[in-house]
Amino acid sequence: MKSTGPRSDTVSTTGDFVSTAGAEPAQGYTLLLDDQLCFALYAASRAVTARYRPLLEELGLTYPQYLVMLVLWEQDSISVRDLGAALQLESSTLSPLLKRLEAGGLLRRERRTDDERSVAIRLTESGAQLKERARTVPMDIGDAMGLTPEQHTTTKQLLRTLTANVSQV
Amino acid sequence: MKSTGPRSDTVSTTGDFVSTAGAEPAQGYTLLLDDQLCFALYAASRAVTARYRPLLEELGLTYPQYLVMLVLWEQDSISVRDLGAALQLESSTLSPLLKRLEAGGLLRRERRTDDERSVAIRLTESGAQLKERARTVPMDIGDAMGLTPEQHTTTKQLLRTLTANVSQV
DNA sequence: CCCGATTAAGTCGTACACAACTAATTCATG
DNA sequence: CATGAATTAGTTGTGTACGACTTAATCGGG
User: CB of B156 under 7 A from strand C?
Assistant: no
* Interatomic CA distance for residues A158 and A8, integer angstroms: 17
Sheet holding B107-111, edge to edge: B77-79, B119-123, B107-111
Q: What is the pLDDT of residues B43-72, one digit of tens each?
A: 999 999 999 999 999 999 999 999 999 999
pLDDT at A15: 32
Mean pLDDT score across all residues of chain A? 86
Assess whether pLDDT exceeds 60 at residue A26.
no
- The CA distance from B1 to B122, in Å, is 53
Q: Does A136 touch chain B (CB under 8 A)?
A: yes
Distance in Å, residue B112 CA to nucleotide D21 C1': 24
Instruction: Identify the structural domains of chain B with CATH numbers, from first to last.
Output: 33-163 (1.10.10.10)
Residue A15 identity (one-letter amino acid): G
User: What is chain B's mean pLDDT, rounded?
Assistant: 86
Report whether pLDDT(B8) > 60.
no
Nucleotide closest to residue B100 (CA–C1'): D15
Confidence bin at A169 (pLDDT 50/70/90): confident
Q: Answer yes or no: is pLDDT of B113 > 60.
A: yes
Mean pLDDT of all residues in A75-80: 95
Average of per-residue pLDDT across B120-130: 98
Distance B124 CA to D23 C1' (A): 28
Asked whether residue B89 carries a pLDDT value surpassing 80, the answer given is yes
User: Which residues on B lie below 8 Å from A135 (Cβ)?
Assistant: 25, 31
